[in-house]
Amino acid sequence: MEKKAKILVVDNDKSVRVTIGRFLERTDQFEVHLTGSGPETMDAVNDFQPDLALLDIIIPEMDGFEVMDRLQLLFPRLPVIFITGNDDVEYYRRAFFGGADEYITKPFDQRRIIEIINRTLYYSLAAKRLPENDHISIAAAWGRGLNFRDSTTGCHSERVAITSLFIGQEMGLADHELTKLLIAAWTHDVGRMGVSDAILLKRGRLIPSEWEEMKSHAQKSYDILKEITLPEWDGIALAAATHHENWGNGKGYPFGLQGDQIPENGCIISAADIWDALQSRRPYKEPMPADESLALMETLNGKNLRPDVVDAFFKAHEKKRIIADFSTPINLFING
CB burial of residue 237 (10 Å; 0-12, 13-18, 19+): buried
Distance CA 286, CA 131 (A): 32
CB-based contacts of 212, cutoff 8 Å, min separation 6: none
What is the residue-averaged pLDDT of the chain? 90
Radius of gyration over every alpha carbon of the chain, rounded to an integer in angstroms: 20
Contact criterion met (CB below 8 Å) for 222 and 241: yes
Residue 224 CA to its chain's centroid (Å): 22
User: 5-123 — its CATH code?
Assistant: 3.40.50.2300
Residues 78-113: pLDDT tens digits? 999 999 887 777 787 788 778 888 888 888 888 889
Distance CA 302, CA 130 (A): 29
Confidence at residue 179, expressed as pLDDT on a 0 to 100 scale: 95
Q: Max CA-CA distance within the chain? A: 59
Contact criterion met (CB below 8 Å) for 17 and 37: no
Confidence at residue 101, expressed as pLDDT on a 0 to 100 scale: 87
Confidence at residue 127, expressed as pLDDT on a 0 to 100 scale: 85
What is the topology classification, in CATH, of domain 132-318? Hypothetical protein af1432 (1.10.3210)
List the one residue out of 63, 54, 61 whose CA is nearest residue 21.
Answer: 54
Residue ranges covered by each domain of the chain: 5-123, 132-318
Confidence at residue 126, expressed as pLDDT on a 0 to 100 scale: 87
CB-based contacts of 259, cutoff 8 Å, min separation 6: 247, 248, 250
What are the backbone dihedrals phi and psi of residue 187, each rounded to the nearest 5 degrees, phi first?
Answer: -105, 5
**SS3 state at 85:** coil
Q: Which residues of the chain have pLDDT under 50?
A: 1, 333-336
